[in-house]
Structure 1
């Protein structure tokens, strides 16, 4: 089995919590792509994280966390800025993220920083998330995308707080179209789809991304499961019933599970294979939702199989 390269951000999440009756923030290692890399490793795949880290104690904790999770760091670089903080609060179904740190520690990877052999040797390359709003990392992602010899997977992972106007959203929409056109798999959330393509039903968004060139498109719907577009018509795959306490990282775990299966079995030959893999990925996400935190709640394959017995 080969390895996956995950190119994106790593940061520290500050999550709403309570201690002795007072509101506090709980510190967790975070970043959507970091969650993906950890999830792949926990599910038995080999993952290499490519991105920029700060130069402070928090960056050291991120590196140690990834190393402990079995994620490779050969493609990571250090930059002379503090680690970005993402303050996460919950006022509705979707978490709200506010980011602190300028320039962002995750946004300083450049195309010249890339380990070309690492990229070219990957069986799966993941690109996406908020780093695509940072010109240096967008250039690096484009170069990696062009060099990839394996399967390419993409997740826009939109964060509305980082979009400073209609022009930024238009630009992101163009970037999404660019990467989707060359992707073997695109995964996005229902919230991503609504922001990028307002008033368009999720089935229509999935069909549009496939028309651009994506091999398969998965739109996650939270407790309602996912829409999978891999054949003539989109198919809805239900999510398992779970005792949810924290949805942080659930969407990332879906991507992690799909990448882990791509490493083992390659690209599905039939749409029904995608449906089966997404059903397993939704079980992974369900288990993540039953534990607090994102990356720390990524399960092993044995834990998923034990929790959901057919």
Structure 2
């Protein structure tokens, strides 16, 4: 079995919590792509994380966490910056992320930093998330996209707080369109779809991305499951009933499960194969929702099978 290269951000999440009746922040290793890399490794795949990490103690903790999870660090670079922080507060079902750190430690990987052999040898290349808003990393992602010989997967993972007005949103939409056109798989959330294409039904967004050139498109709908566009018509796949306590990392775990299965069996030959894989990925996400934290709650394949037998 080959390996996946996951290109994106790693940072530290500060999550709303309470201790002895007072508000506190719980520190967790975070970043959507980091969650994906850890999720792939936990599900039995081989993942290499590619990105820029700071030069402080928090960055050392990120490296140690990734190493302990079995994620490779050959493609990471160290930059002279403190580790970026994402402060997450809950005012509704979706966490509200605000980002701190200038320049952001995760946004300093350049095209010249890429390990070309590592990218070319990957069976799956993941790109996406907030690094696409950083010009150096966007250039690196574009170079990786052009070098890739394996399957290319995209997750926009939009964070509205990082978009400064309509022009920034339009710019991100253009980037998503550019990468989707060359993607074998695009995974996005219904919130991503609503922000990027307001007023469009998720089935319409999925169909549009396929028209651009994306092989298959999965739109996650939270507790309502997912829309899968892999054949002539989009299909809705239901999510399992779970006792949700924290949805952090749920979407990332769907991506991780899909990548892990791509590493084992490649692309499904028929649309029904995608439906089955998404059904499994939604079970993985359900398990993630039943425990707090993102990367720390990524399950193993055995844990998923135990939970849903």
Normalised to the residue count of structure 2, the TM-score between the two structures is: 1.00
Tell me the CA shift for residue 106 of structure 1. 0.1
Equivalent position of 1:155 in the other structure = 155
Equivalent position of 2:75 in the other structure = 75
The whole-number CA distance in structure 2 between the counterparts of 1:289 and 1:162 is 25
Equivalent position of 2:51 in the other structure = 51
The whole-number CA distance in structure 1 between the counterparts of 2:90 and 2:160 is 14
For residues 11-42 of structure 1, give each alpha carbon's deviation from its aligned partner in whole angstroms, at most 9, with x where no partner exists: 00000000001000000000000000000000
SS at match of 1:106: helix
SS at match of 1:191: helix
The whole-number CA distance in structure 2 between the counterparts of 1:64 and 1:222 is 31
The whole-number CA distance in structure 1 between the counterparts of 2:177 and 2:205 is 11
The whole-number CA distance in structure 2 between the counterparts of 1:308 and 1:240 is 9
Tell me the CA shift for residue 94 of structure 1. 1.3
For residues 82-125 of structure 1, give each alpha carbon's deviation from its aligned partner in whole angstroms, at most 9, with x where no partner exists: 00000001111211000000000000000000000000000000
SS at match of 2:302: helix
Equivalent position of 1:62 in the other structure = 62
Equivalent position of 2:238 in the other structure = 238
For residues 212-254 of structure 1, give each alpha carbon's deviation from its aligned partner in whole angstroms, at most 9, with x where no partner exists: 0000000000000000000000000000000000000000000
SS at match of 1:152: strand
Q: Is residue 109 of structure 1 aligned with residue 109 of structure 2?
A: yes
The whole-number CA distance in structure 2 between the counterparts of 1:147 and 1:125 is 10
Equivalent position of 2:197 in the other structure = 197
Q: How does 1:5-24 map to 2 (within 5 A)?
A: 5-24=5-24
Tell me the CA shift for residue 284 of structure 1. 0.1
Equivalent position of 1:226 in the other structure = 226
SS at match of 2:253: helix
The whole-number CA distance in structure 1 between the counterparts of 2:107 and 2:92 is 28
Q: How does 1:28-177 map to 2 (within 5 A)?
A: 28-177=28-177
Task: Name the count of aligned residue pairs.
Answer: 309
Tell me the CA shift for residue 298 of structure 1. 0.1
The whole-number CA distance in structure 1 between the counterparts of 2:60 and 2:5 is 21
The whole-number CA distance in structure 2 between the counterparts of 1:213 and 1:55 is 39
Equivalent position of 1:211 in the other structure = 211
The whole-number CA distance in structure 2 between the counterparts of 1:167 and 1:132 is 15
Tell me the CA shift for residue 157 of structure 1. 0.2
Q: Is residue 178 of structure 1 aligned with residue 184 of structure 2?
A: no
The whole-number CA distance in structure 2 between the counterparts of 1:267 and 1:217 is 12
SS at match of 1:39: helix
SS at match of 2:228: strand
SS at match of 1:80: coil
The whole-number CA distance in structure 1 between the counterparts of 2:304 and 2:58 is 30
SS at match of 2:29: strand
SS at match of 2:252: helix
Equivalent position of 2:304 in the other structure = 304
Structure 1 moving runs of 4+ over 4 Å: none
RMSD after superposition? 0.3
The whole-number CA distance in structure 2 between the counterparts of 1:89 and 1:209 is 31
Gaps of 5+ in 1: none
